[in-house]
Amino acid sequence: MYTIGLDFGTLSGRAVLVDARDGAEVAQSVFDYPHAVMDSELPKGIKLPPDWALQHPQDYLDVFAHTVPAVLRESGVDPAEVKGIGIDFTASSPMPTTADGTPLCFLPELKDEPHAYIKLWKHHAAQRQADQINETARRMGESWLPRYGGKISSEWFFSKLLQILQERPDIYARIDRFIEAADWVIWQLTGVETRNTCTAGYKAMVQDGGFPSKAYFKALDPAFENVVDEKVGREFAELGSKAGELTAEMADKMGLPAGIAVAVANVDAHVTAPAVKATEPGVMVMVMGTSTCHILSGTELGEVDGMCGVVMGGVIPGLYGYEAGQSAVGDIFAWFVDHGVPPEYHRAAREAGLNLHEYLEREAAKQKVGEHGLLALDWWNGNRSTLVDVDLTGLMLGMNLATRAPDIYRALIEATAYGTREIIEAFEEQGVEVRELVAAGGLPEKNALLRQIYADVTGRTFKLSGSTQAPALGSAMHASVAAGLYPNIQAAAQKMGKLKAEVVKPIAENQKIYDRLYREYKTLYQYFGRGANDVMKRLKAIRHEALGQ
The pLDDT, as a whole number, for residue 442 is 87
d(CA 216, CA 65) in angstroms, rounded, equals 42
The pLDDT, as a whole number, for residue 467 is 95
Query: What architecture is domain 330-423+508-546?
Result: 2-Layer Sandwich (3.30)
The pLDDT, as a whole number, for residue 305 is 87
Nearby residues of 300 by Cβ (< 8 Å), 6 or more positions away: 320, 431, 432
Does the global pTM surpass 0.85? yes
**Confidence tier at 547 by pLDDT (50, 70, 90):** confident
d(CA 417, CA 504) in angstroms, rounded, equals 14
The DSSP code sequence of 268-297 is HHHHHHHHTT--STTEEEEEESSSEEEEEE
Beta bridge partners of 30: 14
- CA distance readout (Å), 306 to 314, 378, 384, 430, 450: 18, 16, 8, 12, 25
Mean pLDDT across 108-129: 97
**Span(s) in the chain for CATH 3.30.420.40:** 2-266, 276-327+426-504, 330-423+508-546
Does pLDDT of 104 surpass 80? yes
Residue 465 three-state SS: strand
Query: What architecture is domain 2-266?
Result: 2-Layer Sandwich (3.30)
Question: Is 276-327+426-504 a domain of CATH 3.40.50.12780?
Answer: no
pLDDT tens digit sequence for 492-535? 999 999 999 999 999 999 999 999 999 999 999 999 999 999 99
Mean pLDDT across 240-247: 97
pLDDT tens digit sequence for 57-81? 999 999 999 999 999 999 999 999 9
Mean pLDDT across 152-176: 97
Show the DSSP H helices in 168-247 as ranges.
Answer: 169-174, 181-190, 197-203, 214-220, 227
Comparing 325-334, 530-539, 540-549, which segment has the lowest mean pLDDT?
A: 540-549
The pLDDT, as a whole number, for residue 548 is 84
| 211 dihedral zone (left: phi>0; alpha: psi -120 to 50; beta) | beta
pLDDT tens digit sequence for 460-494? 999 999 999 999 999 999 999 999 999 999 999 99
d(CA 193, CA 178) in angstroms, rounded, equals 11
d(CA 218, CA 222) in angstroms, rounded, equals 5
8 Å CB contact between 105 and 204: no
Mean pLDDT across 215-221: 98
Mean pLDDT of the chain: 96
pLDDT tens digit sequence for 10-34? 999 999 999 999 999 999 999 999 9
Does pLDDT of 347 surpass 90? yes
CA 341 to chain centroid, in Å, comes to 27
Q: Hey, what long-range contacts does 69-76 have (CB within 8 A, 24 or more apart)?
A: 69/254, 69/255, 70/15, 70/27, 70/29, 71/4, 71/15, 71/16, 71/17, 71/26, 71/27, 71/28, 71/29, 72/17, 72/27, 72/255, 72/256, 74/27, 74/29, 75/17, 75/26, 75/27
**Percentage, residues of the chain above pLDDT 70:** 100
Does pLDDT of 549 surpass 80? no
- CA distance readout (Å), 338 to 50, 157, 331, 332, 345: 20, 31, 10, 10, 12
d(CA 269, CA 328) in angstroms, rounded, equals 14
- For helices 57-75 and 181-190, what crossing angle results, to 10°? 60
